[in-house]
Amino acid sequence: MKTIDELLRQGVAGKRVFVRADLNVPQDGTTITDDGRIRAVLPTVKALADAGAKVVVASHLGRPKGAPDPAYTLRFAAARLGELLGAPVAFADDTVGSAAHHAVEGLADGQVAVLENLRFNPGETAKDDAERAEFAARLAALADVYVGDGFGAVHRAHASVHDLPKLLPSYAGYLITTEVGVLERLTDDVKRPYAVVLGGAKVSDKLGVIDNLLKKADRILIGGGMAYTFLAAQGKEVGISLLQEDQKERCAAYLREAAERGVEFLLPVDVLVSPEFPDLKTKAPTNPTTVSADAIPADQEGLDIGPETRRLYADKLADAATVFWNGPMGVFEHPDYAEGTKAVAQALADSPAFSVVGGGDSAAAVRTLGFDEKAFGHISTGGGASLEYLEGKALPGLESLED
């Protein structure tokens, strides 16, 4: 994989450099609530601009259905990028149309433009190879060089990620090279003990990574909604908690395999329960009850790991040398059910281990709960991409950069 440093050594002054970024940030109306992904691409954009390139930044945001949708505009992300760069950033209100061409043609050396949401064009995500290729060719007409730096999208075979790099001289940006280097430390010559913390809603989202990490990890700690399918697989009552009935046998098989391999596979020993899901908009106080994982009432829902589990998990992380964490321990968005996720984050912040927060809700939780990002070894920008890498899958966006 050729890197941006190689490109900079060759010189980019006056060249149009297309940067496929990941500006897929959460927004509340016109307000960006977490700009972590914008800050993550700054080193690449700034290095190119400082070297005199005409920088053309493109990204997706959300899941619009192949047509313009004001709810998913990148206008606010472009404005935030300009604030962080400390320089004006042009914004094109289309992706390959007249506005895009006008914005790019108007760039002086060292200036930056952001194109409108790539997914406003059906060709970006098309299943048909020819349709994707046609859209990639239109994107290629806007640039001389391609730099891939949208790690959160490299597991997608989309036009700007998979097809476009094949049409231009292509290089990996600083974010992608950093992310890949971190993930290699989780898969090759890992320092032990190696602990993995997995949470989130559905166990089905984590099947592949559990399959692979059972062969690599020393300890696997389970929380979040997915824990209740494991508890049910042990024959325990889980009340009205999130349950994937069709995955119970798979979970039971994981527990057996872990025992056979000598991998510690930890499930919650106590949980916070409530008769109803909390209101995440008003965050109105609820009245949760702490119960043993063996005694979840039939009419109650598990929403966070309990205090005994928090202490247990913190102890199991204290002496780890390497930790990968993906997925919150509970409904961290509500203060009544944030303590489990906070306890895991605090354990990693206190630990000397090389700790990787695997993107998605875990990264959002770290920031929402007020932790200093520097307390962790690495906070990934791509939850899905990180998981698929750890599953051992080939990632289309990385493959194209390696061609």
| Gyration radius from the chain CA atoms | 22
375 Cβ partners below 8 Å, 6+ apart?
A: 348, 349
Which listed residue (123, 358, 383, 384) is catalytic?
A: 384
> Does 361 belong to an annotated binding site?
yes
The sign of the dihedral angle between the CA atoms of 308, 312, 318, 322 is negative
> Does 119 belong to an annotated binding site?
yes
> Does 75 belong to an annotated binding site?
no
Q: Is 360 a catalytic residue?
A: yes
What does residue 291 show for φ and ψ, rounded to 5 degrees? -130, 160
| 56: nearest Cα among 93, 85, 15 | 15
> Does 117 belong to an annotated binding site?
no
> Does 239 belong to an annotated binding site?
no
> Does 34 belong to an annotated binding site?
no
Tokens read off for 191: 């320092």
Which listed residue (37, 219, 248, 316) is catalytic?
A: 37
Distances (CA, A) of 125 to 7, 96, 175, 320, 396: 28, 15, 23, 40, 13
3-state secondary structure of 212: helix
CA atoms within 13 A on the CB side of 242: 16
CA pair distance 83, 41, nearest whole angstrom:
13
> Does 333 belong to an annotated binding site?
yes
> Does 110 belong to an annotated binding site?
no
> Does 287 belong to an annotated binding site?
no
> Does 48 belong to an annotated binding site?
no
CA pair distance 399, 403, nearest whole angstrom:
6
Distances (CA, A) of 245 to 226, 232, 235, 263, 300: 11, 8, 12, 24, 17
> Does 156 belong to an annotated binding site?
yes
Q: Are 115 and 92 in contact (CB under 8 A)?
A: yes
> Does 199 belong to an annotated binding site?
no
Q: Is 202 a catalytic residue?
A: yes
Q: Are 87 and 112 in contact (CB under 8 A)?
A: yes
> Does 15 belong to an annotated binding site?
no
Which listed residue (138, 202, 311, 367) is catalytic?
A: 202
| 356: nearest Cα among 106, 237, 187 | 187
Which listed residue (199, 239, 360, 397) is catalytic?
A: 360
> Does 121 belong to an annotated binding site?
no
Strands 31-32 and 27-28: what pairing? antiparallel
351 Cβ partners below 8 Å, 6+ apart?
A: 317, 318, 320, 323
Q: Is 225 a catalytic residue?
A: no
> Does 236 belong to an annotated binding site?
no
CA pair distance 222, 82, nearest whole angstrom:
40
Q: Is 223 a catalytic residue?
A: no
Tokens read off for 365: 């939780």
> Does 115 belong to an annotated binding site?
no
> Does 22 belong to an annotated binding site?
yes
Annotated binding site: 22-24, 37, 60-63, 119, 156, 206, 302, 333, 359-362
What residues form the annotated binding site for substrate?
Answer: 22-24, 37, 60-63, 119, 156
Catalytically active residues, by annotation: 37, 202, 360, 384
Name the binding residues for ATP: 206, 302, 333, 359-362
- Could you list the residues known to form a binding site for (2R)-3-phosphoglycerate, using ranges: 37, 119, 156
